[in-house]
Amino acid sequence: MNKMTFQLRTDGGNCLYEQIYEHIKKEIRERKLLAGEKLPSTRFLAEYLQVARSTVDCAYGQLLSEGYIESRPCKGYFVCPMEDLFFLEEESASGAEEKHSSLSGAERTGRTDPGKQPGKAEAVGEGKFSVDFSPFDIDMSGFPFGVWKKITKNILTYANSDLFAKGESQGDEELRRTIVRYLHSSRGVNCRPEQVIVGAGNDYLLLLLEKILGRHIRIAMENPTYKRSYRMFQSFAYRIATVDMDESGMRADKLGEAKVSAAYVMPSHQFPTGTVMPIGRRMELLKWADGEPDRYLIEDDYDSEYRFRGKPIPALQASDRHGRVIYMGTFSKAIAPAIRISFMVLPDKLLEKYRRDFSFYSCTVSRIDQSILNEFIRDGYFERHLNKMRKIYQAKHELLLECLQPMRKDFLISGENAGLHILLTAKRGMPERELVKQAAEKGVRVYGLSESMVEEAPDSATVLLGFGGLTEREIEEGTRLLREAWEQ
């Protein structure tokens, strides 16, 4: 057992649990802590460091969420196996700087709301529902309308003719710089403004990506997955291969068998399963992508802002050292669906291709909207809005789990602690169709897991319950009606 000899700082730096988390993570990355090695107990480490045990619990909890360590019942915490996957981290800083300078020297001069997806739930309940547990809705009651109006008014009042000119094809540079700073501080993404492309929703960016990657490529997707993206890829005439998932997400060992050149993943919070991909699996995916010159991972980071325990999980792109990750995000979920502003971060190789062959495509977001969003983020309003919404959603999340507590004997709850939906799986095997039907008879709409399946699968006994767009009263009423509908 490693005794963790290190000194905590009390000079106003990171809080104590973050220091413990960062130290242990660094030790694992640098192979000073080896796979299978046991960590000190939380009680022992707390006594040694002279901190509260809850502080160590928070640090271990974050490491557990990110997949650096694992908990073994009655035995303690152990370092997860990483094998030889960290070779991607070993590229020299000088090599990275040379690559950056060679490009920049020549170049210097929301998840959108998919609506109600057609599926089995719609075939059951015609008419209106008293409570709709949609996993796509968000709460607009906390939106800072006054601030948004004030910024809009100021921009329109003092705007000059430049604001009404065409603008840059990738989006205004000032907004792209702001996005880069935000992504680095909140998600650990490493990029430059020239790598960012702003567009009106992920649909436009995926259409643009099809031009860059080329037609008729073979792409891997998880099953189940985000159905809207699946339909977009279908419309491109992509050949789609579904790859099996396990408790860590997409299985990297199956990608080689699928013979694909790209893989679409949601590592920070997979939809719809809620899986958080651990660091070991992320490194396996990066290793696969690095195996051939034209392999890429498309990272959809659609709702990473909403995590209710520990710190947000860093983006997969943050671990990419060889330019294999195409990073996509949106402000639609975090701010409002009508904002319709998304962004894509291209690796340098694809950026060169975009600028050479496709930069004639005009930006699809109005420069006025870009200016409003830029000021909203730059002046700290966005961060304050996120903090407020996290508290609102966390309260709803905790209320939903509390209301579902009496149902735990019959249902397994999963996908909690992040995102705006959870999953319920019937322990006694009641089929999904019956769950959806019986809920609809009580006036409650729930969403079957099969609606997100892209291939036929064994009968599911799982439904999704979204809580983002519901009031606390609706959550209480909806869960009461579900208990009545599903009581055995």
Question: What's residue 114's pLDDT?
Answer: 44
- The whole-number pLDDT of residue 488 equals 55
Check whether residue 23 and residue 131 sit in a common domain: no
Please write the tens of the pLDDT for every residue from 265-292. 999 989 999 888 999 999 999 999 999 9
Specify the higher pLDDT residue, 12 or 403: 403
Q: Tell me the per-residue pLDDT of 385-416, one tens digit each, with 9 for 90 and over.
A: 999 999 999 999 999 999 999 999 999 999 87
Confidence band of 100 (pLDDT split at 50, 70, 90): very low
For residue 58, pLDDT beyond 50: yes
pLDDT in tens, 431-454: 999 999 999 999 999 999 999 998
Which CATH number does the domain housing residue 458 bear? 3.90.1150.10
Q: Is the pLDDT of residue 322 over 90?
A: yes
| 321 in the same domain as 193 | yes
Taking alpha carbons only, the member of 279, 280, 328 closest to residue 304 is 328
Quick: pLDDT tens for 454-482: 877 667 899 999 999 999 999 999 999 99
Does residue 152 lie within any of the structural domains? no
Q: Residue 243 pLDDT more than 60?
A: yes
pLDDT number for residue 443: 95
Residue 93 pLDDT grade (very low, low, confident, very high; cuts 50, 70, 90): very low
Flag whether 110 is in a domain: no
Q: How far apart are CA 67 and CA 82, in angstroms?
A: 10
Quick one: pLDDT at residue 120?
A: 37
Number of domains in the chain: 3
Percent of the chain at pLDDT exceeding 90:
58
pLDDT band at 13 (very low <50, low <70, confident <90, very high): low
- Is 202 in the same domain as 336? yes
The pTM for the full model equals 0.80
pLDDT in tens, 188-220: 999 999 999 999 999 999 999 999 999 889 999
290 and 217 in a single domain? The answer is: yes
Residue 354 and residue 433 in one domain: no
Task: Tell me, yes or no, whether 105 lies in a domain.
Answer: no
128-139 average pLDDT score: 92
Tell me the one-letter amino acid at 362: S
Measured between alpha carbons, how far is 363 from 475 in angstroms, rounded to an integer? 40
Distance (Å) of CA 318 to CA 89, 261, 299, 477: 11, 21, 11, 42
Among residues 335, 356, 379, the one where a domain terminates is 379
- Do 372 and 390 have their domain in common? no
Q: How far apart are CA 333 and CA 381, in angstroms?
A: 16
Q: Do 130 and 239 reside in the same domain of the chain?
A: no
Q: Among 379, 394, 418, which residue terminates a domain?
A: 379
Domain stop point among 379, 395, 412: 379
pLDDT score recorded for residue 86: 47
CATH number of the CATH domain containing 227 = 3.40.640.10
Domain of 396? Answer: 120-138+384-486
Same domain, 420 and 473: yes
Above pLDDT 70, what percent of the chain?
A: 88
Please list the residues that pair with 131 across neighbouring strands.
444
Is 114 contained in some domain?
A: no
Provide mean pLDDT across the span 62-74. 88
Judge whether 268 and 276 are in contact, CB under 8 Å: yes
Domain shared by 450 and 358, yes or no: no
Q: What average pLDDT does this structure show over 168-180?
A: 96
Residue 440 lies in a domain: yes
Distance of CA 113 to the CA centre of its chain: 15
Amino acid identity, residue 112? Answer: T
The verdict on residue 94 lying in a domain is: no
- At residue 465, the pLDDT reads 96
Cβ neighbour number for residue 51 with a 10 Å cutoff: 17
Instruction: Quote the pLDDT of residue 36.
Output: 86
Amino acid 8: pLDDT? 80
Q: Does residue 334 belong to any structural domain of this protein?
A: yes
Which is it for the CA torsion 443, 449, 452, 456, positive or negative? negative
pLDDT score for 212: 96
Residue 210 lies in a domain: yes
- Going by pLDDT thresholds of 50, 70 and 90, the confidence category of residue 138 is very high
Same domain, 353 and 466: no
In CATH, what number is assigned to the domain containing residue 26? Answer: 1.10.10.10
Give yes or no for residue 113 having a pLDDT over 50. no
Q: Does the structure show a pLDDT above 60 at 163?
A: yes
Q: How far apart are CA 426 and CA 409, in angstroms?
A: 9
Same domain, 276 and 332: yes
**Does the pLDDT of residue 83 top 60, yes or no?**
no
- Is the per-residue pLDDT at 76 higher than 80? yes
Please tell me whether residues 342 and 392 are part of one structural domain: no
